[in-house]
Chain A
Amino acid sequence: MHKDELIRRVLDEECTAEEEKYHAELLQSDSDYRVYFEKLQSLKDDLRMIGGPCLETSVKDSIMEGVMEIRAQQSRPAAIAASDDACDACADRFDGAVGGSRQPAQPALERLGRPRWLYISGLAASCGLGLIIGFFLALHAGYSQEPKRTHSDSLQKTVYSAANTPEQKEHVDVAGDAEDARIQTANGKENGLEKVPGDETTLVRFVVHAPGAENVMLVGDFNNWSKEAATMIDPEGNGIWRLTIPLKSGTHRYKFLVDGEKWVNDPGADSRINDGFGGFNSLIRL
């Protein structure tokens, strides 16, 4: 066996007993072999120690934003995608198309800035069942830092936390020319959830302004008040944390947990309810 191959086998711990014996003999008898082997062994130890660069948190955040975008695109029903270009026309038809499910913009909702939203919907009611599909379109020019277009066509209600600072309040846009609408989703798969008749699910986007926070969790009855289940993200690093989750119809209680210790209510929530511990939970009704 060539000595280079023997050294490789020793370093890679692949030797047979005979090879180890031969190696030991060479270490004793061949000084050049011994010196070379010791250099390579030392190098291998150095390489093991060298480690490597750490992936920065901001890079991980960017990757996760990409992941969420992909997930959103994967969630869109194929039939809806074709109607992307017709969204303006859809908006005009919206008033007539939707039955009793459309609701006016809720004055309690305050938006952070003026988002550009484009929602499409296109499912029609099936005969005999009277499924009602709404259409939501919100377009507004102005504030450049607002969240990008969201993914799901069935995104219905956007719950925003009002700004906590005077500067942020300047960007708040109450009502305005964008309209919120409540859309009842039809049966079908969405975000991996299988809906059953009578068990309608709504996608809700939660947003909270928490500058300087290192992590923000959404905690509520929908995740058994787990402090770890629903991690919000701040992809732009501007202190605006967000998370979109599907919620069943009904009333839900929730709060935001900032940096694992500070509980924050949602000023833009539908209402509040005593939490039994001297504080309040935010309520959302779907």
Chain B
Amino acid sequence: MEENTNTDKRIILASLNGHPEDFRMLLDRYGSRVLSLCRRMVGAAHDAEDLTQKTFIDAYTKLHTFDVFRPFWPWLSRIAVNNCKDFFKSSKRKELPLNIECSSQEGIHPVKWDNPEKSRLMDERKSIIEQALMKLPTKYRAVLEMKDIQGLEYGEIEDILDLPITTLKIRTIRARKKLERAVELVISEKRSRHAQR
């Protein structure tokens, strides 16, 4: 973590001091994580991509205000989350419709395993998880994305979402419970579709 902070610091200082092209390195390091976070929060791939672009442009505009001795990712995530919230406000939508059909493989790059059968099972499992995630309200998806997918600490998530840690922990418990039920539901739906053929 400290090594990452030092590297980010060097890149940020270079970007601010006559080498704006170095900002590209931050894109390479964090671009996919921001995209994943935005996808988790707003659903549609093209919206997530637009919000990702906006997040990095906003980050560059405000880069001179960032304290380089702090980790970059939580600061960047916060910009992303705020942009997603503004997106909901402007689209007059509080939540994604819970029955949204999500192409779970869209933009996801599956891991290739040596064993094709294992690879197929893993891809299928990932597809089920993605579909189950999209059935959850945004607030639960967001906390699962940050805690269980990206592995952030509660202290970092507290900074990003501006919620007390106790609330986050309760929300995590509920999110995992809801996800477990959503996975059961997706599996059950798949079986019914399969049985109808």
Contacts and interface: CB of A to CB of B under 8 A. Distances in A.
Contact of B32 (A5, A50, A54, A67): A54
A125 interface: no
A196 interface: no
A148 interface: no
Nearest to A39: B180
Interface stretch (A55-63, A103-111, A129-137, A161-169): A55-63
B32 A52 contact: yes
Contact of A192 (B18, B34, B109, B179): B18
A63 B111 CA distance: 27
Contacts of B109: 51, 53-54
Given A52-B32, A192-B17, A46 B172 contact: no
Interface centre among B33, B107, B151, B154 (most CB of A within 10 A): B107
A191 interface: yes
A52 B108 contact: yes
Of the listed residues B45, B56, B108, the one surrounded by the most CB atoms of chain A closer than 10 A to its CB is B56
B118 interface: no
Interface in A24-56: 36, 39-40, 43-44, 46-55
Given A8-B176, A51-B108, A53-B107, A63 B35 contact: no
A61 B195 CA distance: 47
Nearest to A72: B20
B21 A231 contact: yes
A213 interface: no
B52 A40 contact: no
Contact of B24 (A7, A43, A191, A231): A231
Interface in B15-62: 16-18, 20-21, 23-24, 27-28, 31-36, 39-40, 45, 48-49, 52-53, 56-57, 60-61
A10 to B, nearest CB: 12
B151 A53 contact: no
A9 to B, nearest CB: 9
B27 A55 contact: yes
Contacts of B18: 191-193
B107 A43 contact: no
Given A50-B126, A53-B106, A70 B60 contact: yes
A50 B31 contact: no
A71 interface: yes
A39 B178 CA distance: 12
Contacts of B125: 46
Nearest to B110: A51
A60 B27 CA distance: 7
Contacts of B179: 43
A50 B104 CA distance: 11
Interface in A184-211: 191-193
Contacts of A53: 32, 35-36, 39, 45, 48, 106-109
Given A8-B169, A53-B45, A63-B53, A47 B24 contact: no
Contacts of A63: 27, 53, 56-57
A60 B31 contact: yes
A144 B129 CA distance: 47
Interface of B: 16-18, 20-21, 23-24, 27-28, 31-36, 39-40, 45, 48-49, 52-53, 56-57, 60-61, 106-109, 111, 122, 125-126, 129-130, 144, 147-149, 151, 154, 169, 172-173, 176-177, 179-180, 183
